[in-house]
Amino acid sequence: MTAILAINALCLSFGGQKVLDDVSLSVQPGERLALLGHNGAGKSTLFKTVLGFLRPSSGTVAVAGHAPGSNAAREAVNYLPEVVSFQRNLSGREVLSYFSGLRGTPKAEVSDLLARVGLLDAADRAVGAYSKGMRQRLGLAQALIGAPRLLLLDEPTSGLDPVSRHEFYEVIADAAARGSAVLLSSHGLEEVQDKTDRIAILARGRLKAEGTLAELAQEAGLPTTIRISAKPGAADDLHGEFGGRRINGCRLDLDCAQGAKVDLLARLGQHQDRLRDIEICPPGLTDIYRHFSRMGPTEDQI
Amino acid sequence: MSTRIGTVFGQELRQARRNLWVILATAVLGLFALALALFGAGQGSDLKVDVLTLTAVSLATLSVYLIPLIALLMSYDSISGEVERGSLALTFATPVRRWEVFVGKFLAQTVAVCVAILIAFGTVGCIIGFLAEISGDGVLAWLRLMLSAGGLGAIFVGIGLMLSALTGRTARAAAAAVGVWLLLVVLYDVALLGAIMAAGEGIFATHVFPWLVIANPADAFRLYNLAMIDAAPVAGIDGLSQTLPFPPVAALAALGLWLVATIAIGSARTKRIVP
């Protein structure tokens, strides 16, 4: 299957500073790829390059096989920017009719789209009276016009409440099921967990990791933390035997590689009389994300 | 292509209507025209010229200030404002061509200005027709005024949009629009008058000066309207209208050149905007 979006060794500099550095990515039809990164990691710049607004310093971008920004590429791609404000005095229906006209799709589609994002009741009200969530949903509806082959969603759910966020991802999943390739950006792994097929982590313009969440967790190889509460007076002995970090008078944190977990617990079992409680904390999504986004070229060796 | 331009056109025209630009422009132009008409009616009988002709002359002079101002106000924010709000990024991400966006906006705002002119001047023309005796020449002068005023509005809509595309920022576009208005409508005449006083009679006055006058769209508009009226009571630079080295229609050609230039530069510049 050919990729709808193929980015190869993309570099982009602003005034001598590399904003994107050797980024390679591809998205297949029906696939959802989440692009994670901090503010300023280069996510929006990447989107603007795919749209043809910015020219790469080197490397290539192909949208459905065409140069970004070319007429054929713009036919294939639909975009929802991070910050979007529609003309306040137009109704939601008028906004969608406008974009539908620019894309040359039948006007009959507009009502269907409004229904898909749950805005049919508010369709004829002025956008200025919409809540933030409604404006964002209108933005999504706009991005779904004409069955897009590639959907670019720049932080589509930032500032949405959990319920709207969930509904948002349902609409995105529906679009992917209809064959759209989806590239969306986000701040955190928790948000895109189970909502996307693959995850790419971008930090300071470099792609740090790419794969499914399970692959990322495995690659990160982060230790599980075993948190021990000792009985009074026993903490020092346990610290002497197992090492680890003393948290306070009676608590001790032990880091443990994935494979050694059972073994360590068995050893701890022998000191049952000195233990009050054991808590097992596997690495969380935040830890995985932090691991990759912090991993610089120098930290690699550690 | 036509659908996309039509879509941009429809959207912009709706905006102009909802922002009350059309109503505001119509009211301002109508009130000024009516005031001049009543003033003209007061003295028309003394000058042996019909009120319509007299009002057309004074309205031509006033329109030079008002119409560029209205057109610039309507257009200066149109592209830069959308860049700042982020809505242009959405438009540019669609298959619409950049020049189609520029042309669509231009056409819509030109129509908005022209509708305001037609309603305002048309109504006042009819009022004069009811109140005073009018001649065929007067009606012709009035029609010429309305049409050329539409052209003047179109040029300054083009200039405003061009500045909006060139600057890409609303604050800078506003400053540029005010600057251009002052330069073309006010300072240019003052500078030309100074130059002709300094140069006196000679090659400059007969061969260079007239061309400098029609090089400015505002002056070209006024010159065209005054030169076509024999009986116009004129003074200053406008006195030139009776001693032109070229037919008055040449002034219209100058207006046409301005129109083509602003649209060409604006469209080309719109292609290079990073939204």
The model's pLDDT over B92-134, given as tens digits with 9 standing for 90+, comes to 999 999 999 999 999 999 999 999 999 999 999 999 888 887 8
Q: What is the pLDDT averaged over residues A224-243?
A: 84
Whether ipTM tops 0.90, in short, is no
Are the beta carbons of B3 and A104 separated by less than 8 Å? yes
pLDDT at A178 over 90: yes
pTM exceeding 0.95: no
Answer yes or no: do B95 and A75 touch at CB < 8 A.
yes
Top residue of A80, A87, A93 to mutate, by most chain B CBs within 10 Å, is A87
Residues ≥6 apart with Cβ < 8 Å to B36? B55, B58, B59, B62
CB-CB under 8 Å, B91 with A102: yes
Place of tokens 């305001």: B116
With beta carbons under 8 A apart, name residues in chain A contacting B15: 87, 89-90
Question: Are A101 and B19 an interchain contact pair (Cβ–Cβ within 8 Å)?
Answer: no
| A46-102 residue pLDDT tens | 999 999 999 999 999 999 999 999 999 999 999 998 877 888 889 999 999 999 999
Residue B11 C-alpha, separation from nearest chain A C-alpha, in angstroms:
7
- Least confident range of A108-112, B173-177, B231-235: B231-235
- Does B6 contact A71 at a Cβ distance shorter than 8 Å? no
Token pair 């026993």 is found at A234
**A54 contacts chain B (CB < 8 A):** yes
pLDDT at A282: 81
- State the burial class of residue A107 (Cβ atoms within 10 Å of its Cβ: 0-12, 13-18, 19+): exposed
Q: What percent of chain B has pLDDT over 90?
A: 59
Q: Which residues of B touch A19 (CB under 8 A)?
A: none
Q: How far is CA A41 from CA A20, A115, A156, A281, in A?
A: 8, 35, 17, 29
Nearest chain B Cα distance for residue A196, angstroms: 24
Our CA-based measurement puts residue B85 at a distance from the nearest CA of chain A, in whole angstroms, of 6
- Closest partner residue to A81 (CB to CB) among B18, B90, B96 is B90
Contact in structure between A153 and A183 (CB atoms under 8 Å): yes
User: Which residues in B lie closer than 8 A to residue A74 (C-beta atoms)?
Assistant: 93-95
